[in-house]
């Protein structure tokens, strides 16, 4: 494996800091650039110092052209609108791209997949190895259990998380819908406030909590008559996401243009 020159988008966020540490500790990777919004207070500061990893000699920049010109592999955990704009510039600089940002609307997802026709990309709502195993088995369970088993997806995250339900919860819903060969949007309910009717058969329910510094817990319940089956994943630290993103970046280096998932990286497809 040749040395990958890595750029990190959203460098001063919670995930950005974890990624800076993970990349700086990996002998096959070289951190060469870090990107933040022009109004971010950390622009101009040393990326390693911002991440509490010691000085790395890499200043956080707000200039996308400078950022992408230095990078050949990019990891992006920023915000939806910023990520879509970043992808176009990354394509122009022939980068390969690991995209872990969530909260995209349908049009943005279409735009992302269009860009991936010209650039290798891993696009996943959650880079954790454990979560992606949970996604795999959620689809298998859904194939095996008919709609006599009601499905509920519960997630809880820290108080600062903006999108709801989480991207991981929605990915779990899509996996279950795929397993049952149904459309998620037509068969999901994301709130029950004010609803006094019983649940509809085949409905996939979502519930969300926000509070404290919880990194991310997800539980999928298949509730039948007389029994329940649950798949649960609890995140103890952000290293599980940064390590997964690094794993994806290394795998992606050898891939042709296309939109891949962590299932491809882990050989689950």
**Rounded mean pLDDT of the chain?**
95
Q: Provide the greatest CA pair distance for the chain.
A: 60
**Residue 125 scores a pLDDT above 90:** no
Contact 138, 179 (CB under 8 A): yes
- The single residue of 17, 157, 174, 218 carrying the catalytic annotation is 157
Residues 246, 95, 70, 83: is their CA dihedral positive or negative? negative
* pLDDT for res 195: 86
Distance of CA 184 to the CA centre of its chain: 19
Q: What is the mean pLDDT of residues 37-50?
A: 96
Query: 12, 62, 30: which is closest to 249 by C-alpha?
Result: 30
Q: Which of 161, 218, 233, 247 is catalytic?
A: 161
What was the pLDDT predicted at 163?
Answer: 86
Query: What is residue 269's predicted lDDT score, i.e. its pLDDT?
Result: 74
Is there a catalytic annotation at residue 157? yes
Q: What per-residue string of b and e applies to 118-156 under the rule 16 or more CB within 10 Å gives b?
A: ebbbbbbbbbbbebbbbbbebbebbeebeeebbbbbbbb
* CATH tag, 4-127+238-266: 3.40.50.720
Task: Locate CATH 3.40.50.720 in the chain.
Answer: 4-127+238-266
Fold of 129-234: Dihydrodipicolinate Reductase; domain 2 (3.30.360)
Q: Give phi and psi for 158, each to the nearest 5.
A: -60, 160
Q: Kindly indicate the confidence band of residue 221, based on its pLDDT and cuts at 50, 70 and 90.
A: very high
Average pLDDT over residues 1-13: 93
pLDDT at 102: 87
C-beta separation of 176 from 139 below 8 A: yes
pLDDT of residue 238: 87
Would you say residue 83 has pLDDT above 80?
Answer: yes
The proportion of the chain whose per-residue pLDDT surpasses 90, expressed as a percent, equals 90
């Amino acid at each position: 494996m040749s040395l990958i020159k890595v750029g990190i988008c959203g460098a001063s966020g919670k995930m950005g800091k974890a990624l800076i540490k993970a990349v700086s500790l990996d002998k096959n990777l070289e951190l060469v650039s870090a990107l933040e919004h022009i109004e971010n207070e950390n622009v101009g500061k040393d990326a390693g110092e911002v991440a509490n990893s010691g000085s790395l000699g890499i200043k956080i920049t707000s200039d996308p052209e400078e950022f992408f010109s230095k990078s050949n592999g990019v990891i992006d955990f920023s915000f939806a609108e910023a990520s879509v704009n970043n992808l176009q510039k990354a394509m122009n600089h022939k980068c390969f791209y690991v995209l872990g940002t969530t909260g995209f609307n349908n049009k943005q997802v279409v735009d992302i997949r269009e860009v991936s026709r010209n650039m290798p990309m891993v696009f996943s709502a959650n880079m954790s190895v454990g979560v992606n195993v949970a996604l795999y088995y959620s689809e298998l369970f859904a194939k095996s259990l008919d709609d006599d088993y009601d499905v509920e997806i519960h997630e809880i995250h820290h108080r600062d998380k903006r999108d709801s339900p989480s991207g991981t919860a929605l990915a779990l819903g899509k996996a279950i819908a795929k397993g049952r060969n149904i459309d998620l949007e037509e068969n999901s309910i994301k709130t029950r406030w004010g609803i006094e009717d019983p649940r509809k058969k085949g409905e996939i329910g979502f519930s969300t909590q926000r509070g404290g510094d919880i990194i991310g817990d997800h539980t999928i319940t298949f509730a039948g008559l007389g029994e329940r089956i649950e798949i649960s994943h609890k995140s103890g630290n952000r290293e599980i996401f940064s390590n997964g993103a690094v794993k994806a970046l290394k795998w992606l280096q050898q891939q042709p243009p296309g939109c891949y998932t962590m299932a491809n990286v882990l050989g689950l497809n």
